[in-house]
Amino acid sequence: MMMKTGLLALVATFAMVLSGQSAETTVKLSDVHLCCQSCVKGVNAAVGKVEGATATADKDAGTVTLSGPDAATVQKAANALVKAGYFGKSSDDKIKISERSGAKGKNVQTLKVDGVHLCCGKCVKAVDEAVKSVSGVKAHTAEKNAESFEVTGDFNDKEVFTALHKAGLTGRVGK
């Protein structure tokens, strides 16, 4: 009888452990701008501020895998990445990558852009290629380690952010 009780307790404990493990949420973000080890460090720093979340960045593949105990934690980690200037496509429809840049979809001559990840010259080059792909853009002032930059010309403000997103970066309209 004691052996049956012990066995039942062991099975119950094992079932509880398994049910606790299945609650973990993981999502892979693809097409993220990760040109150098500093970009990877930036991802880890951003996600490191979210309690319970972890990030695994694959620089060569341009992916970031986010994990956490539940979907809410992973969503907070995704939000932290966007806030740090990164962008990507989520493998899980429940984890949203915010596209809220504050752009109004109007033509402008000058646009201040805040919060784009610009740790190195390769990041600046990615911004240069993205921004200059937008019809009407004449120039920008993005530089390494800048917290903001200006885009000038005669262009649609929302198209600038769409181009940055395609490059795996994001930002928001500055003031």
Predicted pLDDT of residue 132: 96
Predicted pLDDT of residue 175: 87
Extents of the domains making up the chain:
23-90, 107-173
Amino acid making up residue 88: G
Q: Which of 133, 123, 114, 137 is nearest to 168 (CA)?
A: 123
Predicted pLDDT of residue 62: 97
Enter the pTM of the model: 0.85
* Residue 114: how many other CB atoms lie within 10 Å: 16
pLDDT tens digits for range 63-90: 999 999 999 999 999 999 999 999 999 9
107-173 matches 23-90 in CATH topology: yes
Which residues in the chain come in under a pLDDT of 50? 2-3, 5-21
- Taking domain 23-90, whether its CATH number is 3.30.70.100 is answered by yes
Strands (E), the chain: 25-30, 54-58, 63-68, 89-90, 107-114, 137-140, 148-156, 172-173
Q: Which CATH number fits domain 107-173: 3.30.70.100, 3.40.640.10, 3.40.50.1220, 3.30.160.250?
A: 3.30.70.100
